[in-house]
Structure 1
Amino acid sequence: MKEVDLSISEHKRMTPLDVVKIRLQAQKNPFPKGKCFMYCNGLMDHICICENGNSKAWYKAPGHFNGTLDAFIKIIRMEGIRSLWSGLPPTLMMAVPATVIYFTCYDQLCAAFKVRMGDRSDLAPLFAGAIARVGSATVISPLELIRTKMQAEKQSYRELSDVIRSALHSEGWRSLWRGWGPTLLRDVPFSAMYWFNYEKGKVWLCEYYSCTDPTFSITFTAGAISGSIASIVTLPFDVVKTKRQVELGEMQTKNLSTQVSSSTYNVMKRIVAENGVSGLFAGFMPRLIKVAPACAIMISTYEFGKAFFRRYNQQKHGMTQLQPSA
């Protein structure tokens, strides 16, 4: 239960970073690659499209974010500080099942794989983390879709429910798992790399500091480093996931087919065409600032809790054995 309580409090503190990350990922570049726009006044936006890349033009893009700090300032100024906690209710609803399923499955699977894999038991955390994430990500995918829509656009629950009903009517229940593919492409490699690097890093740090059991600082450091590496590598899939989920309802409004450019590969191609390769790493800084400390705090507290209850059970078992039989 300690991991669940920590997960809830962590999500409350990190939600503003999540909102900023998703806004940066969901925004459209006012200068699509290869084109420039001339802006005249507030009544007419695009009065000229210059295909010639050498032409120069001024374009004003209200609400366009130029970075993490700029996004924070503009969101607070235009929507109020409470907007930084958009999507908090579904986030908190996700925290309990995601944490329970994820950590429980990982521990059980890792122990089973270590027994079966023998000499290759060092790979057990990699496979256990990947499989555990598939289960938790699948269960919470509809809640993550709702959270992403609320954080990407300032919507009321009524407006959001109308969008979801429309999507259910046109696409069926599968629409609630929109973005599930890129979510798995983001989360499964993330978990595999995270647990593998964490276990390796923990062992290396224990050997370096000549300690038999990992201390809180060792688990904290190993968790932060492994989380940072995994978050950077999987960021492009996080961007694709956000794009796919934000599009829910937009296709129907524009009378476009939901099957057009909907695969992960096609969405990636579209992002690169519009924003360049850097578009695949939108929201890099807020994601890194969120994930690194979150992974460090979560895993160090998790390891501390496991060690505490292990010692408690051992002491209790020892006291039971010492008690004389009646």
Structure 2
Amino acid sequence: MAEMSNGNFSKTTSIQQAIASCCGAIITSLFVTPLDVVKTRLQAQSNPFPKGKCFVYSNGLMDHICVCESEDIKGWYRKNGHFKGTLDAFVKIIKIEGIKSLWSGLPPTLIIALPTTVIYFTCYDQLSEALKSRLGKDNDHIPIVAGSLSRFGSVTVVSPLELIRTRMQYQKLSYKQLHMCISSKVATDGWLSLWRGWSSTVLRDVPFSAMYWYNYECFKKMMCKNLGAHEPTFFIAFTSGAASGSIAAVITLPFDVVKTHRQTELWESETLKIPQSASTWEVMRKIIAKNGIAGLLAGIVPRLFKVAPACAIMISTYEYGKSFFFHLNEKSNQHP
């Protein structure tokens, strides 16, 4: 695999980077979605979700709010079968419901995940190259700055789309009804209401991206040196992605817990009239008061099982895609 982080980067176009990130997003979704479907089914089996309540469903690329027994979900998380564990759940779901059930919720995920991933990865590479020309290619701050800014931009752009998608899942609406619903919400609460929950997402995703890219570049350089590789291989990119993703996931977990509370609270407040919390910090204080510091670390194991493979698959596929286009461009230049 050619190392895109150095001089080779300039030989891949932004369109080629976008295609590589799209391929990475699709492959990541195909691999990781079944893991989260099984996890959600096991959770629903041990602690059934009551009708009208919400839970967060995530497949490694996107988080989704699912309202229990809504029309679009059709109770996929309540299907028949008692599962003894993860492997048993995989076997029984395939046997009883068919293999397609393992990819429940994949289409709406890709509709939002693809533009998010394209913006995020393409911006990261473009910003990295711009900063390298000014600060030097070995500057340690480049991954932190580029990772933070690219994630901030992608979260801000896509946040209203996620709110709209969740609204459509919560209540089956035609596009005309959806437009009227959004228009009335904007008229009542202003345009900023379309970015509700944005602050919690930024507090989780921007630090995650800064740590992820910094550690990824460090691990990649270290492994290349230790293995005597002039260029990072698929294995190096995969391992570096998994390790850096795991570290970032653990450190940012408290903000992920807060984001989950705020997202589910948003929809429950509309149906059950629960007052919304004023801020991210207030939600954090409530969680600590109720469950102690341990409450901010809830779900650490499933988060690691989701994030580590998702990061590994995404970055290694993306790097491989860029490598493919780099060699393709090189051949084209040699044979005009």
Alpha-carbon contact 1:190-1:231 (below 8 Å) kept: yes
Structure 1 letter corresponding to 2:294: S
Deviation (angstroms), 1:128 = 0.3
Query: 297, 309, 323: which is aligned to 2:313?
Result: 297
CA deviations 1:247-274 (Å, max 9, x no partner) are: 224334555654xx32111010111122
Alignment of 1:220-231 (within 5 A): 220-231=238-249
What's the C-alpha RMSD, in Å, of the aligned pairs?
3.7
Matched, 1:179 2:194: no
117-126 vs 220-229, which moves further: 117-126
Aligned: 1:316 with 2:332? yes
Report how many aligned residue pairs link the two structures: 274
Which of 270-279 and 94-103 deviates more? Answer: 270-279
Decide which of 97, 114, 127 is 1:96's aligned counterpart.
114
Shift of 1:140: 1.4
Q: Are positions 1:237 and 2:251 aligned together? A: no
CA–CA separation in structure 2 for the residues paired with 1:231 and 1:246: 20
| Higher gyration radius (CA) | 1
Q: Is the 8 A contact 1:16 1:85 kept in 2?
A: yes
Which residue pairs with 1:157 in the alignment? Answer: 172
Q: Which residue of 2 aligns with 1:267?
A: 283
Specify the alignment match of 1:207 in structure 2. 225
Taking structure 2 as the reference length, the TM-score comes to 0.69
In 2, Cα distance between the equivalents of 1:172 and 1:20?
39
Shift of 1:189: 0.8
Match of 1:41 in 2: none
Kindly tell me: are residues 245 and 161 of structure 1, through their superposed partners in 2, closer, same or farther at Cα, counting changes over 3 Å?
Answer: farther
Answer yes or no: is 1:125 the counterpart of 2:123: no
Contact between 1:133 and 1:188, CA under 8 Å: does it hold in 2?
yes
The answer on whether the counterparts of 2:148 and 2:207 sit within 8 Å (CA) in structure 1 is yes
Q: C-alpha distance in 2, partners of 1:183/1:266?
A: 15
**Match of 2:266, as an amino acid?**
L
Please list every run of 5 or more consecutive structure 1 residues that lacks an aligned counterpart in the other structure: 28-59, 66-72, 321-326
2:293 to 277, 283, 307: 277
Q: 1:74 to 1:102 in 2, by over 3 A?
A: closer
Percent of paired sites with the same residue: 54
Answering whether residue 154 of structure 2 is matched by residue 116 of structure 1, we say no
SS for the counterpart of 1:248 is helix
| Change in 2 beyond 3 A, CA 1:156/1:88 | farther
Which residue in 1 is equivalent to 2:266? 248
Q: What pairs with 1:39-118 in structure 2 (closer than 5 Å)?
A: 63=49, 75-77=78-80, 87-118=105-136
Cα distance between partner residues in 2 of 1:256 and 1:185: 24
CA distance in 2, matches of 1:185, 1:20: 28
Q: Distance in 2 between matches of 1:282 and 1:83?
A: 27
User: RCO (CA 8 Å, sep 6+): is it higher in 1 or 2?
Assistant: 2
Determine the structure 2 residue equivalent to 1:216: 234
